[in-house]
Amino acid sequence: MTAHRSGGTERVDCDVAVIGHGPVGSALAILLAQHGHTVTVLERWPVPYSLPRAVHFDDEVARILQACGIGGVLAEISEPADVYEWRNAAGLPLARFGRSGLGPSGWPSSSMFHQPHLEALLEDRARDLSTLVLRRGVEAVGLIQTDEGVIIHARNHAGTALDIRCRYAVGCDGANSTIRQLLDIPTIDLGFFYDWLIVDVVLHEQRVYDPINVQVCDPARPTTVVSGGPGRRRWEFMRRPDETLDDLNSTDAAWRLLAAWDVTPDNATLERHAVYTFKACHAAQWRNGRVLLAGDAAHLMPPFAGQGMCSGIRDVANLAWKLHLALGGRGGDSVLDSYTEERLPHARAVIDFSIELGKIICVSDPAEAAARDELMGGSFTAIAMSIPPLPPIAGALLPANDPVAGHLFPQGMVAVDGARARFDDVHGVGWRMVTVTTDRLDLDTALAEWFDDESGSVVAISPDADVDGTYATWFAEQRCTWALQRPDFHVQGAASDVDGAAALLVDLRNRLTAPLVRSEEPPISASQA
């Protein structure tokens, strides 16, 4: 990374400019810098954002955060959540969602956390990486694209101009993304608007909440009562149709509503409160030349599934390895185009699911609520419901005829030198050809060198190493013995013998190096929008 001054403008050269240092921009910058790329992150605010937002992440996101180098401390800022119970106005259960224990990615299926703590961990990790520079108090205000790169025009709070010359730029600049607006990318509005007061509380004496997370589907005041991470509780209160935003958005209103939950200034500290309008929308495209969008800049959803940030973290896990390829001159436009192709339909499915949850929760009409309650839980015994699994990813980069391709590959505990550790901590993150056989994969020299250049490796997991049986179970269920795991933890393809495994690598090399053949259909067609 080089910096110099010309006239009144400071100029910085780097591989990638990341605009926005929320959780998404922060994770992307770390993943790129871990590959040795020079990254400049521009963040408008001089200090981290402190208003209440995300409190939940899932096991896949925990695995990506592990890949960012903070797996060792993640448990300190999070607590597992196994049950999310929905109740009617009388407190009778309508449904129970959730799974206990570890999810397929080797972390608790659901974890509750405090977003500022996560952002602080990511910022500490970012400061450890010598090729990553975070410029706080600097706002991106313009951009120019050329065939070779991008210039991001920025200025600091004193008005001093800064130009970042980079090969790629990624707008991780949140819901009102400047980068999205500068690129003139339209937003597809999915028509969901509800105002909620969000209140974060620290109780002076801890209480046991069982279940840990509750949704009160009371038409008089839809309310969410959940963990806000270790030592914290979160209440969310929907604005009623007869209230104004001002009626709701005050410390007095927060205490008044909390009183019904025996939370008062005598027994609790009100950490923060804010009113948010929950919305559902996404950018029509996530790439324009050398500039890409990720996180809230690309999509927004109501938080009822706790998936907004999770989707953004998934975006950057998908994008980081593709940018790494492009920066190395391997894999070009075609591979970068697969970012939108793979991520947009997935994010859209999660948005649609979040809207469906919102339609059930945000009911303020008593008759409508009574009909809903009857439909959902007429017997008022908690119906165990599973949250539908997130869909696989698809697109031209993945073999169409492989039923396992595009699904997540699991992470289990493996034995190494008499100790147990998570697979990624032992074998690293990247292309991993995993097998439960002892067969040897003999590749021709060119293919072996290519796989090596891509930091690929073959990992054979013996029954002794497979300490919790994750791999034996998965391979038996999928009826295969070899699986090629991508750097974003999805399965590129699976095979039943060494010839099939070698063919997977040949196929991958072709797909990464030759222009991909795509159908004419855009990832989200106009009729779906």
Ligand X SMILES: Cc1cc2nc3c(=O)[nH]c(=O)nc-3n(C[C@H](O)[C@H](O)[C@H](O)COP(=O)(O)OP(=O)(O)OC[C@H]3O[C@@H](n4cnc5c(N)ncnc54)[C@H](O)[C@@H]3O)c2cc1C
We find the least distance from the C-beta atom of residue 162 to ligand X, in angstroms, to be: 11
CB of 505 to ligand X, least distance (A): 34
**Which of 271, 276, 334, 522 is the binder for ligand X (CB under 6 A)?**
276
Binding of ligand X at residue 20 (CB under 6 A)?
A: yes
The answer to whether 194 contacts ligand X (rule: CB under 6 A) is no
229 binds ligand X (CB under 6 A): no
Using the rule CB under 6 A, give the single segment among 17-25, 101-109, 359-367, 472-480 that binds ligand X. Answer: 17-25
Strand 384-385 relative to strand 413-416, pairing: unpaired
The nearest distance, CB 22 to ligand X, in angstroms, is 2
E strand intervals along 30-102:
39-43, 56-58, 78-80, 84-88, 93-97
Q: Which stretch binds ligand X (CB under 6 A): 21-29, 73-81, 454-462, 490-498?
A: 21-29
* Share of the chain residues as helix, strand and coil, in percent rounded to the nearest 5: 30, 30, 40
Two tokens, residue 7: 């006239």
Nearer to ligand X, 248 or 436 (CB): 248
Pick the stretch among 299-307, 393-401, 425-433, 504-512 that binds ligand X (CB under 6 A). 299-307
> CB of residue 198 vs ligand X: minimum separation in angstroms?
4
Q: Which long-range contacts (CB under 8 A, 24 or more apart) does 64-68 make?
A: 64/27, 64/313, 64/314, 64/316, 64/317, 64/488, 64/489, 65/27, 65/118, 65/313, 66/107, 66/422, 66/424, 66/425, 67/31, 67/317, 67/424, 67/429, 68/27, 68/30, 68/31, 68/34, 68/122, 68/125
Give the shortest CB-339-to-ligand X separation in angstroms: 15
140 binds ligand X (CB under 6 A): yes
- Min dist CB 180 to ligand X, Å, is 10
Residue 98 engages ligand X in binding (rule: CB under 6 A) = no
- Asked if 19 and 138 count as a contact pair (C-beta separation under 8 A), the reply is no
Is the CB of 181 or the CB of 264 nearer to ligand X?
Answer: 181
Amino acid identity, position 251: T
Provide the token pair at 170: 């990624």
CA dihedral 154, 155, 161, 163 (to 10 degrees): -20
Q: How many CB atoms lie within 10 A of CB 150?
A: 20
354 is an interface residue for ligand X by CB under 6 A = no
Binding mask 45-74 for ligand X (x = CB under 6 A): x---x---xxxxx-----------------
Whichever of 450 and 489 has its CB closer to ligand X, that residue is 489
Q: How far apart are the first and last CA of the chain?
A: 41
Residue 412 contacts ligand X per CB under 6 A: no
Strand pairing report for 299-300 and 281-283: antiparallel
Return the number of the residue (108 or 493) whose C-beta is nearest ligand X.
108
Place of tokens 């493996």: 414
Binding site for ligand X (CB under 6 A): 19-25, 42-45, 49, 53-57, 139-140, 172-174, 178, 198, 276, 295-296, 303, 306-310, 312
